[in-house]
Chains A and B, each alone.
Chain A
Amino acid sequence: MVRKYIINIILIIVALGMAFPIFWMIALSFKANPETHDTITKLFFSEYSFTNYWKALSSDSFDIYLLNSVIVSTVVTLGNILFCTLTGYALARKKFKGNKIIMLSIIGVMMIPPHVIMIPLYRTMVNFDWINTYQALIVPWLITPFGVFLVKQYLSNIPDAIENAAIIDGANQFQIIFKIIFPLAKPIIIVLAVYIFLMNWNSFLFPFLFTNNAEYWTLPVGLTFYMGKQSINWGQLMSGASMSAIPIILIFLLFQKQIIKGLTAGAIKE
Chain B
Amino acid sequence: MSKTLLDKLWEQHVISGEVGEEQLLYIDLHLLHEVTSPQAFEGLRFSNRKVRRPENTFATMDHNVPTKNPEVIEDEIAEKQLSALRNNCQEFGVHLEDITSYNQGIIHVIGPELGLTLPGKTIVCGDSHTSTHGAFGALAFGIGTSEVEHVLATQTLWQRKPKTIGIRLEGKLQPGVYSKDVILHILAKYGVSFGTGHVIEFFGSTVTNFTMDERMTLCNMAIEGGAKAGLVAPDNVTFEYLKDKVTGDFDAAVEKWSRLYTDDISLYDQLLEVNVNEVAPHFTWGTNPSMGISIDDKLPEITDENDRRAFEYMGLNPLMSPDEIKIDNVFIGSCTNSRISDLLIAAEVVKGRKVNENVTAIVVPGSKEVQREALKLGLDKVFTEAGFEWREPGCSMCLAMNPDKVASGKRCASTSNRNFEGRQGKGARTHLVSPAMAAIAAVYGHFVDVRKELSNATICNS
Bound together:
no
Give me the interface of A with B, judged by CB distance under 8 Å: none
